[in-house]
Amino acid sequence: MTVRCDARRAVVLLASLLMPFSVAQAEKDAFKVCADPNNPPFSDKNGHGFENKIAELFAKDLGKKVEYTWFPQRIGFIRNTLKAQLPNSDEYKCDVVMGVPTGYELAATTKPYYRSTYALVYRKKSGWDDIKSPEDLERLPDERKNKLRIAMFDGAPGTTWLFNHQLADRGLPYQSMSGDAAVNTAQILEKDFAEGKIDMVIVWGPIAGYLVTQGKPGPFEMIPMKSEGSIKFDFPISMAVRFPDKERKEELNALIERNAKKIEALLHEYRVPLVDQSGNLIEAAKKSKK
């Protein structure tokens, strides 16, 4: 009996000694991403967003698997994900946010991995197909202009543009951040286009790409905006880590550089309007015929 008890104690002791190692090894083997579970085209729980795809690309490069901490990307997102420690541990819930503005004040940011621009979007075959540039809106006769309904987001450069071009009275106010985590901006716009509530929107490039590729009923036309005067439409996007996490930041910078062509091709698949530092569009590389 004594021998058996001693054997059991030995097994329990061994398991307790190995447990911290197993947890540490699991942490080491995971590429831990902080993400919104319902934020197309960026991320979703089904892994369909382009940030999901880039996370998978990086994890494969590192020989790891992707592990997510899901939280709605609203106020408190960084506090509840990137900066949130696991109970009774020095580890954090997650280590990387896949997309933030370069220079984001709440975290350390990598080098930019893409630059996009806002775009004017409207449904084709809905009476606006003659609009080929934003300036065409100003040239519309008053009769047509007075029928125009443009989604206008608070604090967005598109709103400033509408004011500067005497079109603000045709704007319908929208919140830049929805209070409902069950729907995001792209989904709200898709619904309101389908219901005929709006004719157009000036929206951030990846969301414009979502409407063009996924929006129903489509098809949609997308016209990239060009920065003018004090109105800036194009912005660089980086990944984010905690401020002290310099080693991980450099690892991400190396991954971005190593996979730059694959990232660009992926973003083009999602119809994200990519621009260079001068705001000029970057065309998708043509696939060679075999």
Tell me the pLDDT tens digit for each residue of 157-172: 999 999 999 999 999 9
pLDDT at 23: 42
Return d(Cα 69, Cα 85) in angstroms, integer: 12
Asked if residue 6 is part of any domain, the answer here is no
Close Cβ partners of 137 (under 8 Å, ≥ 6 residues apart): 131, 145, 148, 165, 167
pLDDT at 216 over 50: yes
Return d(Cα 107, Cα 199) in angstroms, integer: 37
Asked if residue 259 is part of any domain, the answer here is yes
Q: Residue 111, class by beta-carbon neighbours within 10 Å (0-12 exposed, 13-18 middle, 19+ buried)?
A: middle
Asked if residue 33 is part of any domain, the answer here is yes
Give per-residue pLDDT as tens, 64-90.
999 999 999 999 999 999 999 999 999
Mean pLDDT value across the chain: 91
pTM summary value: 0.88
Q: How many domains, the chain?
A: 2
pLDDT at 217: 85
Say which residue the tokens 């219901």 belong to.
195
Give per-residue pLDDT as tens, 165-210.
999 999 999 998 777 888 899 999 999 999 999 999 999 999 999 9
Close Cβ partners of 35 (under 8 Å, ≥ 6 residues apart): 43, 51, 52, 55, 68, 69, 70, 71, 73, 97, 98
pLDDT at 246: 97
Among candidate residues 172, 162, 158, the one with its CA nearest the CA of residue 137: 162
123 and 101 both lie in a single domain: no
Give the whole-number percent of the chain exceeding pLDDT 90.
82
Among candidate residues 52, 54, 32, 56, the one with its CA nearest the CA of residue 44: 52
242 and 184 both lie in a single domain: no
98 and 161 both lie in a single domain: no
97 and 170 both lie in a single domain: no
Give per-residue pLDDT as tens, 54-70.
999 999 999 999 999 99
Asked whether the beta carbons of 206 and 213 are under 8 A apart, the reply is no
Return d(Cα 68, Cα 32) in angstroms, integer: 6
Asked whether the beta carbons of 82 and 107 are under 8 A apart, the reply is yes
Q: How many CA atoms lie within 13 A of 272 on its CB side?
A: 27
Dig out the tokens for 136 from the structure. Answer: 């065409």
**Cα torsion through 211, 214, 217, 223, rounded to 10:** 30
**Cis before 217? omega within 30:** yes
60 and 103 both lie in a single domain: yes
76 and 170 both lie in a single domain: no
Give me the domain span that covers residue 105: 27-114+235-269
| DSSP3 helix / strand / coil % (the chain, rounded to 5) | 35, 20, 40
91 and 145 both lie in a single domain: no
pLDDT at 35: 98
132 and 150 both lie in a single domain: yes
Close Cβ partners of 135 (under 8 Å, ≥ 6 residues apart): none
Q: Tell me how far CA of residue 165 lies from CA of 12, 50, 131, 169, 224, in angstroms.
A: 74, 34, 15, 10, 17
Please write down the HEC assignment for all residues of 150-219.
Answer: EEEECCCHHHHHHHHCCCHHHEEEECCCCCCCCCCHHHHHHHHHHCCCCCEEEECHHHHHHHHHHCCCCC
Q: What is the CATH number of the domain that holds 102?
A: 3.40.190.10
Return d(Cα 233, Cα 44) in angstroms, integer: 26
Asked if residue 2 is part of any domain, the answer here is no
